[in-house]
Chain A
């Protein structure tokens, strides 16, 4: 295992010489897809709790579709499926976008985590204590101010434990990127495996790196929970 690390450490950690690979790529995938997913989920979670079916039904359909199918199928659909459609081929901007494995990977990851995050946030918004809302209304807040000052900050705090779980699961899901030729940690170790035929050491090394990243994330989220959920501590 040490020998493999000595040969591949640079590719495993940040670069194989001319592009970003390994750990840096995995973290980049995680950050960008969770970032887009978060921005997507926040408005959708508000819509998910709307009273009008015209508003909540499309959001429900989106989360249902993306939570009901495996991420691998979504990635295949976006990476190989969409590129096979002729009108995508014939429209230059689409052609340009879907030709790159990295774009397709980020798109499918962001849509997938967006769906799960929407449900997490929507659940938290729904569970807002009615007293908080009543107090806001009694202060004469408009709907927008109520959401901005009361409901969303409170809901995001309470959603933190579930959201941290989702981020860890997303880290685990980024391993699928290697099927779309994105050079993440697993791709580098898979190449190392093809070169050495030593599965235990190669994939064990990958497992070790992922384990460290998972622990790092768990540590960060623990700190965040202690800070943001301090008022809920017994």
Chain B
């Protein structure tokens, strides 16, 4: 019954691509989210404005529309940029070719960075003020305060949100097959069309996502336990 008709390797490669894409997008959006949350909580009004506009627009527009918009426009912008560099000084002749994988990572990272911004903003605000003041009283520099006090504390509050976003990113990678990346959905589609067993192969792709979801649920539970060290739970 479980006969992959020789397409097993292709589907496996697609799965690997899906995982790589999701992990890299997660890392990128994590970084963007930290920057965005810092901008939204900054004292400078312009920074706050940029952060607010970014999160409002990105969260109000469907990810597929943004993906198509960025994927098709990014290459044009890069070409214009390299033309501009060329015209500036003839010796500079760069080319920035973009493959679907890179632009997929950039797009997903940029989109989900907005969701992470909101997650981290809430988590930053949840850290007790006294802890930061104590750290400053010890003479820690801002970066050290962030590394030693703010980040570990806020991770505890942010983890449920991060887990949620991770699941959404994992499922959003399926959209990237629409812009030509050969991920697990694309591989399953190709196999299904070749063997006339579309239902079976798409189900296999669904199964891959289910397994990934279950695994990430387990990892998240472990992480939550790690970051909850030192929190007293009420004994019932």
Beta-carbon contacts under 8 Å, B121-175 to A: 171-175
B63 in contact (CB, < 8 A): yes
Query: Contact at A73–B205, with CB atoms within 8 Å?
Result: yes
Please report whether the interface of chain A is mostly helix, strand, loop or mixed according to DSSP. helix
Q: Which of A80, A190, A193 contacts B198 (CB 8 A)?
A: A80
How far does the Cβ of B62 sit from chain A's closest Cβ, in whole Å?
4
A65 in contact (CB, < 8 A): yes
Query: Contact at B69–A200, with CB atoms within 8 Å?
Result: yes
Query: Contact at B192–A210, with CB atoms within 8 Å?
Result: no
Query: Contact at B62–A73, with CB atoms within 8 Å?
Result: no
Chain A minimum-CB-distance residue to B66: A207
Residues of B within 8 A of A199 (CB): 68-69, 72-73, 76
Query: Contact at B171–A69, with CB atoms within 8 Å?
Result: yes
Residues of B within 8 A of A65 (CB): 206, 210
* Residue among B69, B76, B203, B210 having the largest count of chain A Cβ atoms under 10 Å: B69
Count residues of B near A (Cβ-Cβ below 8 Å): 35
Beta-carbon contacts under 8 Å, A139-184 to B: 171-176, 179
How far does the Cβ of B185 sit from chain A's closest Cβ, in whole Å?
6
Query: Contact at A84–B197, with CB atoms within 8 Å?
Result: yes
How far does the Cβ of B52 sit from chain A's closest Cβ, in whole Å?
14
Cα A71 to Cα B189 in complex, Å, equals 15
Query: Contact at A73–B202, with CB atoms within 8 Å?
Result: yes
B28-62 CB contact bits vs A (8 Å, 1 = yes)?
A: 00000000000000000000000000000100111
How far does the Cβ of A89 sit from chain B's closest Cβ, in whole Å?
12
Chain A minimum-CB-distance residue to B178: A179
Query: Contact at B209–A68, with CB atoms within 8 Å?
Result: yes
Count residues of A near B (Cβ-Cβ below 8 Å): 36
Beta-carbon contacts under 8 Å, A189-233 to B: 190, 193, 199-200, 203-204, 206-207, 210-211, 214-215
Residues of A within 8 A of B178 (CB): 72, 179
Beta-carbon contacts under 8 Å, B199-221 to A: 199, 202-203, 205-206, 209-210, 213-214
Once A72-B174, A80-B198 are accepted as A-B contacts, the answer to whether A207 and B185 lie under 8 Å apart by CB is no
How far does the Cβ of B61 sit from chain A's closest Cβ, in whole Å?
4
Q: Which of A72, A80, A172 contacts B192 (CB 8 A)?
A: A80
* Residue among A77, A179, A190 having the largest count of chain B Cβ atoms under 10 Å: A77
Cα A72 to Cα B179 in complex, Å, equals 13
Query: Contact at A204–B213, with CB atoms within 8 Å?
Result: no
Query: Contact at A73–B72, with CB atoms within 8 Å?
Result: no
A102 in contact (CB, < 8 A): no
B186-199 CB contact bits vs A (8 Å, 1 = yes)?
A: 00010010001111
A61-73 CB contact bits vs B (8 Å, 1 = yes)?
A: 0001100111111
Cα A10 to Cα B173 in complex, Å, equals 33
Query: Contact at B192–A81, with CB atoms within 8 Å?
Result: yes
Query: Contact at A172–B202, with CB atoms within 8 Å?
Result: no
Residues of B within 8 A of A204 (CB): 69
Residues of A within 8 A of B174 (CB): 70, 72-73
Query: Contact at A211–B189, with CB atoms within 8 Å?
Result: no
Cα A146 to Cα B174 in complex, Å, equals 43
Cα A207 to Cα B62 in complex, Å, equals 7
B88 in contact (CB, < 8 A): no
Which residues of A does B touch, CB under 8 Å?
64-65, 68-74, 76-77, 80-82, 84-85, 171-176, 179, 186, 190, 193, 199-200, 203-204, 206-207, 210-211, 214-215
Q: Which 6 pairs show the lowest CB-CB distances between chains A and B?
A: A199-B72, A81-B199, A70-B174, A172-B62, A203-B69, A70-B171
- 14 additional A-B pairs beyond A186-B68, A199-B68, A200-B73, beta carbons within 8 Å, are A70-B174, A72-B178, A76-B202, A77-B202, A172-B61, A173-B62, A175-B65, A176-B175, A199-B73, A200-B69, A200-B72, A200-B76, A207-B65, A207-B66
Which residues of B does A touch, CB under 8 Å?
57, 60-66, 68-69, 72-73, 76, 171-175, 177-178, 185, 189, 192, 196-199, 202-203, 205-206, 209-210, 213-214
